[in-house]
Every structure is written in C-alpha cells, then in structure tokens.
Amino acid sequence: MAFEILDNNWKELIENNTLVVVDFWAEWCGPCRMVAPIIEELAEEYKDKALIGKVNVDNNPQLTMQFGIRNIPTLLFIKNGELAGKHVGIIRKPELQKKIDELL
C-alpha cells in the first residue's frame, strides 16, 4: 500500500529514504483515480527498494505549494533528498517502472 505523505512527515521521509516517489492527487480527480492502482501495485513491488507514497493536495497545502503543483496527478521522484524527476498526467505502469528502475 502506498504510504500517506503529509505536510508534517515529509521531511523525515525524505531524509530516511534513498528514493521517494510521490503521487500528488485528489479524490475528485478522474486521472488520479486511473493512476492510483498503479501506484498501489508499485508501492508493494518496490517496498524494499523505494518509498512510494501519495500526497492528497486538498489536505496538504504546504507540500503542494512548496513544489508548485498546479496539475494532478503529478509524480515527483526524490533521490537522496533532491528532486530527480517529475511527471505530470497519466502514466502507464511500464513507463513508471522504467523511471523508478533508472533512479535505483
């Protein structure tokens, strides 16, 4: 299951994980609902290699503003505490797996 990332646990997660994949989403977002099952599957598949989590933009305005998230879904790839990539919009599972594998 994808980890719930919040305004108040963000810093600790980034500091304690080599690779973090963050899905910025909202319940009312149709494309987000299409990406959600992929995020959940990959969170399980990569659980020992990377932290894959979700940020609900409606409940976590600080993170949403900090990263300038204007469109959702937006995926951020954080490696060693630094932004290493970004994807806006729907993504297929093989494409997302490729991006994660490249960063590992």
Active site residue 27: no
Catalytic residue among 6, 29, 36, 88: 29
Tokens of 99: 């991006």
> Which three-class secondary structure state does DSSP give residue 6?
coil
Give the pLDDT confidence of 19-76 residue by residue, as tens digits. 999 999 999 999 999 999 999 999 999 999 999 999 999 999 999 999 999 999 999 9
Place of tokens 């108040």: 8
Domains belonging to the chain, first-starting first, are 3-103 (3.40.30.10)
Active site residue 29: yes
Catalytic residue among 32, 57, 76, 100: 32
Q: Rounded to two decimals, what is the model's pTM?
A: 0.93
